[in-house]
């Protein structure tokens, strides 16, 4: 089975020509790239507001948190793996600078028998969660980690996809609010998603869950869980809210947009909202009380030399997919011709946005059952062409990496040559 059988798109808006789409994409991307940069503190404040998409119509949103365990053993497991994978030049935040804290979460689920414009009910969040759990009859839970380069945004900003996944799958979506850089460095965000994952597996309340979805930190979580399987049983089990627990693997992983130093990053400037460097690393980006960091460093998340730590994820989705397929993992690869980062947010009117969301939902459902419809889940790679998502089968995901893995690792070494970021105008060496 190729991935063309994953989801032939349902009804969606269709633009009449390739030129129309290309002009729209170029205009949106140039508008975004030419917008004034806010400081990171301003950006974080603006994107933390609970305003972009209120819970109208057939959806429940319950805002709550996963409680931090009083015993920090879960952090000890994380740091055990970090130091097992640490290279001599990596600089890791000391354990005492990464406390275990409560992790904010939006639970999202289908809400039936209400008009499409029905407002969110004015009841306590606990009652909303109870109603959501009573109404949701799916055993599937999707753990969702939002985008934003790890230094801005929130679950509320990503409701276009989290609400869509809940409606299309019938599942509970747990969209987490992890700690943001530059105030919180690696591995704080991974610890937060780990606490959320463990809380879904071993809940204090009834938020049972099975599956995971996300991006960069989700790859870090997956690598962590794989490494935990290699630990001696005494190290791989730990106290979590008074229970002795282990960390099994999730049923599957669905990710979007995770690249930086591969060739496509350098040649698709007109069809992406991002340039070679993220805005926070560009010369002349506004400074404020949190950026530059204190002491200054090259990138918001960590010292640049630590960017190749294995819990940071390997650079480039194609490389990750290819390496996973070579290792025997079932990989379903979908790419969209000419689409920018965050197409679900910036270009939601395009057919590709709805098509992508449907594929994403189908993948999450397939992970839970091991099959799509009556067919067993199998690897495959497809490129969906503009303007109306015509499939071009690419074959096995094993061969989709643009460069050999060793070359990718070598290219990542450029991170160590980045200048410390101070906001001054200077040339970045790439």
Residue 426 to residue 298: CA distance in whole angstroms: 13
Q: Do 72 and 141 touch, CB atoms closer than 8 A?
A: no
What are the angstrom distances between the C-alpha of 338 and each of 21, 26, 147, 191, 347? 9, 10, 20, 35, 12
Q: What is the pLDDT of residues 53-66, one digit of tens each?
A: 567 888 999 999 99
| Dihedral, CA of residue 145, residue 398, residue 223 and residue 86, to nearest 10 | -120
Region class of 403: left (phi > 0), else alpha (psi between -120 and 50), else beta: beta
CA nearest neighbour of 340 among 222, 424, 259, 229? 259
CA nearest neighbour of 7 among 361, 345, 318, 371? 361
Residue 233 to residue 246: CA distance in whole angstroms: 9
Q: pLDDT band at 419, cuts 50/70/90?
A: confident
Q: What is the pLDDT of residues 327-382, one digit of tens each?
A: 999 999 999 998 888 888 888 888 999 999 999 999 888 887 766 565 678 899 99
Q: From the DSSP assignment, how many helices (H) and strands (E) are in the chain?
A: 13, 12
Which residues are paired to 107 by β-bridges? Answer: 62, 174
Q: Which two tokens stand for residue 83?
A: 């130091």
| pLDDT score of 9 | 41
Alpha helices in 6-66 (DSSP H): 18-33, 40-47
On the CB side of 167, CA atoms within 13 Å amount to 19
| pLDDT score of 11 | 44
Q: Which two tokens stand for residue 352?
A: 């590709």
Q: Do 351 and 400 touch, CB atoms closer than 8 A?
A: no
| pLDDT score of 384 | 95
Asked if CATH classification 3.40.50.1820 holds for the domain at 18-416, the reply, yes or no, is yes
Which residues are paired to 332 by β-bridges? Answer: 380
Whether the predicted pLDDT of 428 surpasses 60: no
Instruction: Work out the number of other CB atoms within 10 angstroms of the CB of residue 11.
Output: 7
Q: Which two tokens stand for residue 61?
A: 């949103």
Cβ-based burial of 277 (10 A; exposed 0-12, middle 13-18, buried ≥19) = middle
Mean pLDDT taken over the chain = 85
Q: What is the pLDDT of residues 123-181, one digit of tens each?
A: 999 999 999 999 998 889 999 999 888 999 999 999 989 999 999 999 999 999 999 99
Unique residue bearing structure tokens 């098509």: 355
Q: Which two tokens stand for residue 209?
A: 């869950």
How is the chain split into domains, by residue range? 18-416
- R_g over Cα of the chain: 21
């Amino acid at each position: 089975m190729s991935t063309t059988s994953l989801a032939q798109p349902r009804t969606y808006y269709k633009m009449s020509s390739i030129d129309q789409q290309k002009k729209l994409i170029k205009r949106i991307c140039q508008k975004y790239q030419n917008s004034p940069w806010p400081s990171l503190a301003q950006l974080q404040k603006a994107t933390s507001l609970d305003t972009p998409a209120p819970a109208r119509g057939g959806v429940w949103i319950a805002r709550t948190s996963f409680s931090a365990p009083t015993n920090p053993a879960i952090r000890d497991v994380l740091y055990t793996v970090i130091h097992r994978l640490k290279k001599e030049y990596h600089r890791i935040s000391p354990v005492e600078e990464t406390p275990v804290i409560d992790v904010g979460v939006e639970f999202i689920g289908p809400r039936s028998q209400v008009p499409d414009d029905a407002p969110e009910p004015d009841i306590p969040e606990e009652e909303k969660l109870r109603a959501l759990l009573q109404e949701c009859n799916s055993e599937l839970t999707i753990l969702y980690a939002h985008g934003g380069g790890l230094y801005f945004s929130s679950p509320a900003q990503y409701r276009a996809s989290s609400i869509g996944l809940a409606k299309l799958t019938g599942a509970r979506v747990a969209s987490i609010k992890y700690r943001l850089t530059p105030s919180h460095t690696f591995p704080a965000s991974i610890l937060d998603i780990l606490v959320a994952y463990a809380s879904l597996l071993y809940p204090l309340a009834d938020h049972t869950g099975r599956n995971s979805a996300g991006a960069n930190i989700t790859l870090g979580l997956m690598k962590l869980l794989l490494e935990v399987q290699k630990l001696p049983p005494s190290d791989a089990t730990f106290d979590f809210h008074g229970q002795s627990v282990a960390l099994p693997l999730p049923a599957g992983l669905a990710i979007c947009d995770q690249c930086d130093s591969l060739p496509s990053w350098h040649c698709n400037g007109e069809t992406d909202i991002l340039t070679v460097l993220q805005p926070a690393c560009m010369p002349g980006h506004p400074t404020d009380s949190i950026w530059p960091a204190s002491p200054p460093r090259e990138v918001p998340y960590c010292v640049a030399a630590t960017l190749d730590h294995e819990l940071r994820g390997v650079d480039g989705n194609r490389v990750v997919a290819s390496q996973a397929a070579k290792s025997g993992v079932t990989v379903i690869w979908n790419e969209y011709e000419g689409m920018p980062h965050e197409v679900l947010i910036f270009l939601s009117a395009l057919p590709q946005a709805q098509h992508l969301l449907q594929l994403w939902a189908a993948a999450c459902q397939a992970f839970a059952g091991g099959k799509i419809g009556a067919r067993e889940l199998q690897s495959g790679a497809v490129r969906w062409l503009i303007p109306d998502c015509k499939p071009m089968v690419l074959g096995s995901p094993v061969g989709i990496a643009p460069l050999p893995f060793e070359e990718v690792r070598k290219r990542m070494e450029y991170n160590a040559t980045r200048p410390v970021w101070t906001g001054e105008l200077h040339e970045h060496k790439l």
